[in-house]
């Protein structure tokens, strides 16, 4: 076997092994929503009287909430942007008509799914043909840009 093909095969095997290890390390979180959310952690944002029926009312802006664990990087979609039109369910805007983290993300969604939720490269489609795909906790599928087109 030529060295180029052998190297490509080795890299592919390493990628697949790393992907499987990463999925295995997720444990059974794939079936549930956001991994850090439990009944107790809901009360860090939701009022105590809402404990039995959590609603979408939060005590602090979601950017602050999400940034308490997630680091926002350049290139990540900005929040607080005015959306000039109505968006369909399940997407949410603030009363002022601006987007927030939960406009595009729904932390009750499962972490992985058998079908892609976001656009993927050809290599990713080949590597994940029968595997699990990250949902990125998106509020709706976006493998063809349908989530983005609601605002853009």
Higher pLDDT, residue 41 or 67: 67
Instruction: State percent of the chain over pLDDT 90.
Output: 16
SS3 100: coil
Buried/exposed code over 58-88 (b: 16+ C-beta within 10 A; e: otherwise)? beeebeebbeeeeeeeeeeeebeeebeeebe
Pairwise pLDDT comparison (18 vs 2), residue with the higher score: 2
Q: Which residues contact 129 (CB under 8 A, 6 or more apart)?
A: none
pLDDT attached to residue 12: 41
CA 12 to CA 37: how far, in whole Å? 34
Token pair for residue 34?
């956001």
pTM exceeds cut of 0.85: no
All residues at 6 or more sequence positions from 96 whose CB lies less than 8 Å from its CB, including other chains: 82
114-143 pLDDT, tens digit per residue, is 888 888 788 877 876 767 888 988 999 999
b (16+ CB within 10 A) / e for 9-26: eeeeeeeeeeeeeeeeee
Name the most confidently modeled range: 5-9, 62-66, 78-82, 106-110. Answer: 78-82
Phi and psi of 118, rounded to 5°?
A: -125, 160
- What pLDDT, in 10s, does the model give residues 38-60? 556 666 666 666 655 554 444 44
Q: Which domain holds residue 27?
A: 3-150
Count of domains forming the chain: 1
149: its two tokens: 């087109």
pLDDT band at 83 (very low <50, low <70, confident <90, very high): very high
Q: List CB contacts of 22: < 8 A, sequence separation 6 or more.
A: none
């Amino acid at each position: 076997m030529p060295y180029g093909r052998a190297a490509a095969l080795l890299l592919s095997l390493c990628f697949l092994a790393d992907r499987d290890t990463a999925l295995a390390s997720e444990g059974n979180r794939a079936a549930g929503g956001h991994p850090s959310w439990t009944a107790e952690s809901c009360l860090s944002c939701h009022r105590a009287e809402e404990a039995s029926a959590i609603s979408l009312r939060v005590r602090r802006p979601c950017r602050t909430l999400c940034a308490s664990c997630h680091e926002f990087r350049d290139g990540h979609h900005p929040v607080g942007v005015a959306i000039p039109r109505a968006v369909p369910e399940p997407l949410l805007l603030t009363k002022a008509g601006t987007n927030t983290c939960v406009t595009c993300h729904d932390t009750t969604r499962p972490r992985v799914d058998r079908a892609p939720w976001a656009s993927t490269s050809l290599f990713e489609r080949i590597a994940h043909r029968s595997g699990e795909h990250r949902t990125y906790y998106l509020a709706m599928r976006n493998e063809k840009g349908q989530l983005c087109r609601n605002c853009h």
